[in-house]
Structure 1
Amino acid sequence: MSLFVIVTFLVLAILGMPLAFSLGVSALAGLWMSGFDLAVLSPRLMNSVNSFPLMSIPLFMVAGELMLKGGIMDRLIGFANAFVGRMRGGLAQVAIISGAGLASVSGAAVADASALSSTLVPSLKKQYGLGFSSGIVAAAANLGPIIPPSGAMIVYAFMAGSSVSVGGLFMAGVVPGLILFVALMGLCWLIAWMRDYPLAGEPFSFANIIRESRRSFLVFLMPVIVIGGIVIGAFTPTEGAAIGVCYALFLGFFVTRQLKLSDLPDVLLTAAKTSALVGAMIAFASTVTFLFTIDMLPMQLATLMKGVTDSPFLFLCLISLMLLVVGMFLESNAAYIMLVPLFHPIALQYGIDPLHFGFIFVLNLVIGMLTPPVGVVLFVVTGITGVKMGELVRESWPFIAAMYAVLLLCMLVPSVVTWLPTQLGY
């Protein structure tokens, strides 16, 4: 039965059916084949999304949209340019710093890709051409789900259950996120040096740094308040997301003064659409997961994996290889919802730290957002900038390689991921 459900879902997904529809049809097909009364479907659907922690997803989306509408990009670009604007590959590194700053308030790669593409590519392409400029913003946008707060980590923690806390998973992403940030900065410098791109931007000046730091201080204070409060236990992730919405409204209306009342309906509608899609996928996936459980698929997979290898590292390699393929063909939210309930319990049987495995899982699928043929960030960037997909993929490969290097480091040295959460008591 489990194989029938999986095949049904994959066939529908490959045919281009919406993911929520594919999950729903797969669940109905599985229930019908197993002989279960379809009446069990509706209460299971409702109970799966009747969750206080899940409210953090739409709230973080609203906060991110408000920050974008409120003119945050201008301040992030000014702050980044004051530090690196005049060095080799300076504009490229401005994009990476802006992406990291945006990641600390939005947590979503697609939203970041849209913002960075529309605001930075027009300036970048004058120096580097459209292809490399588009590759830069695609890589910078992919920092969104890695540097906390992260919508992907919230979904993972919810699907994994009580063994993974959102705050702990947020902290697990800090050190690898910083390593990846430095790697992307160095890669931009190296490519600019190899291609002999000209210098651009204002000369380095402490006065500029002080001025831009003052302008951006309140922007960077938001993740400190929200994430810091979640980590120390002052409030839950959902309450932190609500505080983030209030803070974003304050910044947009009274600090940058670029947010208007007329922007609010569009912000709420955008967040509602995305949240409804994620909620529908979680609801239908809960039924699919229920079918997998009664069919004892997790236990069968665990037995199969144990028969292949007893090594936790080789297990992580097998999972990463599988997620590499999955990320090429399946949208990441569907992958979290379908696969986390299957493989998270197996990772615990191997003795792998749940935060370590959770971050490895998230990073794999985040990289998948940059890999064709179904790299959602690639489609967003091509749609906004007009770059050809082949050219964008060609320019993105060095950044993808850097991400896989960080992934391998995290697999070989688990303390890169677990050190900070351990120090904070997770």
Structure 2
Amino acid sequence: MSLFVILLFLCLALLGMPLAFSLGVSALAGLMVAGFDLSILSTRLMNSVNSFPLMSIPLFMVTGELMLKAGIMDRLVDLANAFIGRVRGGLAQVAIIAGAGLASVSGAAVADASALSSTLVPSLKKQYGLGFSSGIVAAAANLGPIIPPSGAMIVYAFMAGSSVSVGGMFMAGVLPGLLLFLTLMGLCWLISWWRDYPISGQRVTLSNILHQMRRNLIIFMMPVGVIGGIVFGAFTPTEGAAIGCCYALLLGFFVTKQLKIRDLPEVLLTAAKTTAVVGAMIAFASTVTFLFTIDMLPFKLAALLQGLTDSPFVFMCLIALMLLVVGMFLESNAAYIMLVPLFHPIALQYGIDPLHFGFVFVLNLVIGMLTPPVGVILFVVCGITKVEMGTLVRESWPFIVAMYVLLLLCMIFPGIVTTLPHAMGY
């Protein structure tokens, strides 16, 4: 039965059907094949989404959209320019810094890709051409789900159950996110030097740095306050997301004064669309997961994998190879919802730290958002910048390789991921 459901889902997904529809049809077909009362479908659907922690997903989405409408991009670029100065590939590094700053308030790669492409590419392409400029913003957008707050980490923690906390996942992403940020900065400099791109940027002055820090301090108080409150237990992720929404509204209306009442319907509609898709996938996937459990698929997979290897590292390598393929063909949210309930318990049986496995799992699928043929970020950037897909893939591969190197380092040296959350009691 499990094999039938999986094959049906993959066939529908590869035929181009919407993922929520594919999951729904697979769940319904699985129930019919198994001979279950179809009324169980409605019960499972409602129970899976009737969850207080899940409310944090749309609230964080609304927060990110509000911050973009509030004009945060202009301030992030000004701040980045103040620190970079006149260096080789300076404007490219400004884009990476802006991407990291945007990641700290949005947590969604697609939204970041849209914002960075529309605001930075027109300036970038004057110095670097359209291809490299598009590759830069695609790589910078991929920092969104890694640097907390991260919508992907919230979904993973929900699907993994009580063994993984949202705060722990957020802290697990801090050091790898910083390493990836520095690596992308270095790559921008190296490629710019190799291609002899012009030196750009403005002269660094202490007064300008202090001015930009004072001007933007109030913006970065939001992620510091929200993430800090979640990590130290002052409030739940859902409450933190709600506080972030209120903060973004106040910031947009009274500080930057760029947010207008007429912007709110568009913000809410955008967040509602994304939430509806994620919610539908979670609802239908809960039924599919129920069928897998009844069919004892997790136990069969555990026995199969443990028969292949007793090494936790080899197990993680096998999962990484599988996710490499999955990320090329399946949207990341669908992959979390389908695969986390299957492989997270097996990782615990191998004695792997749940935060370590969780972050590696997330990072693997985040990289998949940049890999063809179904790289969501690639399609977003191409749609906005009008660059050819082949050109974008060719310009993005050094950044993709760097991300896979980080993934391998995180697998070999778990302390990169676990040191900070363990030090904070997770």
Cα distance in 2 for partners of 1:308, 1:120 equals: 48
Deviation at 1:202, TM superposition (A): 1.1
Q: Superposition pairs for residues 345-384 of structure 1, below 5 Å?
A: 345-384=345-384
Deviation at 1:302, TM superposition (A): 0.1
| Aligned residue in 1 for 2:44 | 44
| Aligned residue in 2 for 1:122 | 122
* Sequence identity percentage: 82
Does residue 302 (structure 1) correspond to residue 302 (structure 2)? The answer is yes
Cα distance in 2 for partners of 1:125, 1:213 equals: 28
Cα distance in 2 for partners of 1:361, 1:231 equals: 21
Cα distance in 2 for partners of 1:178, 1:255 equals: 28
Cα distance in 1 for partners of 2:214, 2:192 equals: 30
Deviation at 1:210, TM superposition (A): 1.0
Cα distance in 1 for partners of 2:141, 2:425 equals: 30
**Contact 1:85/1:91 (8 A) holds in 2:** no
Task: For structure 1, list consecutive stretches of 5 or more residues without a partner in the other structure.
Answer: none
Cα distance in 1 for partners of 2:85, 2:249 equals: 30
**Contact 1:77/1:94 (8 A) holds in 2:** yes
Cα distance in 1 for partners of 2:116, 2:205 equals: 25
User: TM-score, structure 2 length as denominator?
Assistant: 1.00
Letter paired with 1:72: I
**SS of alignment partner, residue 129 of structure 1:** helix
**Contact 1:85/1:94 (8 A) holds in 2:** no
Cα distance in 1 for partners of 2:215, 2:130 equals: 30
Q: Superposition pairs for residues 230-241 of structure 1, below 5 Å?
A: 230-241=230-241
Deviation at 1:34, TM superposition (A): 0.2
| Aligned residue in 2 for 1:194 | 194
| Aligned residue in 2 for 1:314 | 314
Deviation at 1:215, TM superposition (A): 1.4
Deviation at 1:205, TM superposition (A): 1.3
**SS of alignment partner, residue 200 of structure 2:** coil
Cα distance in 1 for partners of 2:185, 2:334 equals: 31
**SS of alignment partner, residue 146 of structure 2:** coil
| Aligned residue in 2 for 1:250 | 250
Deviation at 1:359, TM superposition (A): 0.1
**SS of alignment partner, residue 88 of structure 2:** coil
| Aligned residue in 1 for 2:292 | 292
| Aligned residue in 2 for 1:386 | 386
**Would you identify which runs of 4 or more consecutive aligned residues in structure 1 move more than 4 Å?**
none
Provide, for residues 8-45 of structure 1, a one-character-per-residue CA deviation record: whole Å limited to 9, x for no partner. Answer: 00000000000000000000000000000101110110
| Aligned residue in 2 for 1:20 | 20
Deviation at 1:358, TM superposition (A): 0.2
Provide, for residues 105-164 of structure 1, a one-character-per-residue CA deviation record: whole Å limited to 9, x for no partner. Answer: 000000000000000000000010000000000000000000000000000000000000
Deviation at 1:208, TM superposition (A): 1.4
Letter paired with 1:348: L
| Aligned residue in 1 for 2:342 | 342
Task: For structure 2, list consecutive stretches of 5 or more residues without a partner in the other structure.
Answer: none
Letter paired with 1:353: D
Provide, for residues 259-282 of structure 1, a one-character-per-residue CA deviation record: whole Å limited to 9, x for no partner. Answer: 000000000000001001100000
Deviation at 1:85, TM superposition (A): 3.9
Does residue 165 (structure 1) correspond to residue 165 (structure 2)? The answer is yes
Cα distance in 2 for partners of 1:62, 1:380 equals: 19
Cα distance in 2 for partners of 1:81, 1:382 equals: 26
Farther-moved stretch of structure 1 (208-217 vs 62-71)? 208-217
Cα distance in 2 for partners of 1:30, 1:416 equals: 41
| Aligned residue in 2 for 1:330 | 330
Cα distance in 1 for partners of 2:189, 2:387 equals: 22
Cα distance in 1 for partners of 2:85, 2:336 equals: 38
| Aligned residue in 1 for 2:154 | 154
Cα distance in 2 for partners of 1:301, 1:361 equals: 17
State the superposition RMSD in angstroms: 0.5
Cα distance in 2 for partners of 1:137, 1:151 equals: 19
Letter paired with 2:366: V
